Amino acid sequence: MKIALIGYGKMGKIIERIARSRGHEIVSIIDIENLSDFDSPAFKSADVAIEFTRPDTAIQNIRNCFKANVPVVVGTTGWALSEVQDELKAGNHTLFVSSNFSIGVNIFMAVNSYLAKLMNRFNNYNVEMTEVHHIHKLDAPSGTAITLAEGILKQLDRKETWTKEVEGKPSDLAIKSIREGEVPGIHTIRYESEVDSITITHDAKSRDGFALGAVMAAEFTAGKKGLLGMSDMLDFLKCL
């Protein structure tokens, strides 16, 4: 498959390595110094583009892919999908979005939803979430923490909204964000009662898991239309 990379930072470089190891050809690499390459024949020849840049540049990059008619897989977090949804539909384009491409995290999301559903019967437990990431991360809470929180809000009737850092009222689900060192990503969900606590944690060992998932998403995306996500690729997420 012919893949174009948008963003050649930490993730872009790992994605390049993993994509090549799976037999794909990298036909174009776009970063801030060569944005005009969106108009190049090489970029337009890609079967799919993979975008890992910054929250404030993702939307323009998606629009550039739509303009070039190149399906795009977006890993950048911290931007609003609603800003491109109308254009996606109107132009019959292809966009795969996930706040976390790691297969392990998506298994964790399934466990998180199941646990939240179970906890409806046990209201003596309160729940909170903590996420830890490297100091370079621009958004907080992480996109993954927000997705996990949405999974809990959907299943656990006594929680209505997620909040940053503190639980203002009992129906709030607090997400605490810690930024330290070079941590690739730790997400912990903790249910606490007076007598015990139940904790589930996903701890990424490196960025490779995200990059592999993004390349698998690119393989899945080629030839498809519309808005795609991990629940299209991983059938066990459909029932959540």
User: Which residue ranges make up the site for ligand NAD (CB under 6 A)?
Assistant: 6-12, 30-32, 35, 52-55, 57, 61, 75-78, 98-101, 137, 207, 210
H-helix or E-strand containing 112?
Answer: helix 103-118
Q: Which two three-digit tokens encode residue 27?
A: 């036909």
Q: Which residue is nearest to ligand NAD (CB)?
A: 9
Q: Which is nearer to ligand NAD, 105 or 119 (CB)?
A: 105
For ligand NAD, give the closer residue by CB, 167 or 220. Answer: 220
How far is the CA of 7 from the CAs of 12, 37, 133, 164, in angstroms? 6, 12, 20, 29
Dist CA 179 CA 218 (whole Å): 30
Q: Which of 133, 159, 187, 202 is catalytic?
A: 133
- The residue whose two tokens read 């690119």 is 218
Q: How far is the CB of 121 from ligand NAD (least distance, A)?
A: 33
Residue 86, C-beta contacts closer than 8 angstroms, at least 6 positions apart:
none
- CB of 16 or CB of 47, closer to ligand NAD: 16
The verdict on whether 159 is a catalytic residue reads no
Least Cβ distance, residue 195 to ligand NAD (angstroms): 36
Closest distance to ligand NAD from the beta carbon of 190 (Å): 23
137 is catalytic: yes
In the bound state with ligand NAD, the residue whose beta carbon lies nearer, of 98 and 113, is 98
The Cα–Cα gap between 18 and 214 comes to 10
Q: Are 55 and 99 in contact (CB under 8 A)?
A: no
Task: Provide, rounded to whole angstroms, the least separation between the CB of residue 119 and ligand NAD.
Answer: 27
What residues are annotated to the active site? 133, 137
